[in-house]
Amino acid sequence: MRDDIQIIIVDDNSDEDKKPTVQREDVEIILLDAENAKGAGRARNIGLDRAKGEWLLFADADDFFSENLNFILDKYKNDEEKDLIILNAYTIDEENNTRPYKTEKLIRDYLEYKNKAEENLRYNIWTPWTRMVKRNFVISHNIYFDEIPAGNDVMFCLNCSKYAKIIDVEEKPVYYYFKPQNGSLSDKHRKTMLASRFELREKVFKLKKEVGYKPLPSFMDIVLFSVKNSIAPLENILSLYFSVLKNNNVYVITDIVRYVVLILKGHRY
């Protein structure tokens, strides 16, 4: 039995027949309700306010941790130096096929001391389940999830990376992210939230400028993908696109050149 684990499950207004039920006697379990405010951001913030452990870990309802979790918890128990641990993850589909998530390459580059490896590790992973964060660190910097329809976890992850003084990585896969072969519901939902995604992109770009991190922007990818799939009227997409570039002092020609570079490197959206 472990006395150092607290499991907080926040029900984000699921149907009555799908309400979560957990039966474990070896750890503390708290079941909470998201108080009729739908959205993962709100649910996660409710959990944050009730958490009392040394470290914070996050999981989605259809994902799971690997058998390496106990090793990680033991390794960093009472660690007073680290603020943030980047965890390796794999994707898994409905046929149990697994693939390395992008954390694997970023962690490997970091351990091999490649150029910009730490910056890439900090600012190219935006999912909370790929990280273990010191709770007191999150509280001291007042870091919360955005309560928005899509991308609620992006700024939480980036702000953790921004303020973390000492980080560490784990090569062993700790988390399995369920990703169906035909795409998840969240992926499809994001396509209908284009305006919100553009606003989020602007916040992301602003933070990266503050910390001096300059990756290739992908606004052109978003525009072309959106036009191709008729997600929103072209004039709305272009208006948002130009607004983002203008507010971040990026020239259209510069963004187009960088987009072409991404395509030449085999990058696709």
- For the chain, what are the domain ranges? 191-269
pTM (2 decimals)? Answer: 0.76
Question: For the segment 43-60, what is each residue's pLDDT rounded down to a tens digit?
Answer: 899 899 999 999 999 998
Residue 238 confidence class, pLDDT cut points 50, 70, 90: low
Q: Please, what sign has the CA dihedral across residues 43, 46, 48, 51?
A: negative
Maximum mean pLDDT: which of 95-99, 147-151, 217-221, 256-260: 95-99
Contact, 99 vs 180, CB < 8 A? no
Which strand (E) or helix (H) includes residue 56?
strand 55-56
Strand partners, 170: 87
CB atoms within 10 A of CB 264: 8
Give the H/E segment covering residue 122.
Answer: helix 117-123
Q: Average pLDDT over the chain, rounded to whole? A: 80
Q: What is the token pair recorded at 163? A: 């303020």
pLDDT digits (tens, 9 = 90+) for 125-146: 889 999 999 999 999 999 999 9
Beta bridge partners of 65: 175
Q: How confident is the model at residue 22 (pLDDT cuts 50, 70, 90)?
A: low
Question: Is 130 in a helix, a strand, or coil?
Answer: helix
The Cα angle at residue 87 between residues 86 and 88, in degrees rounded to 5: 125
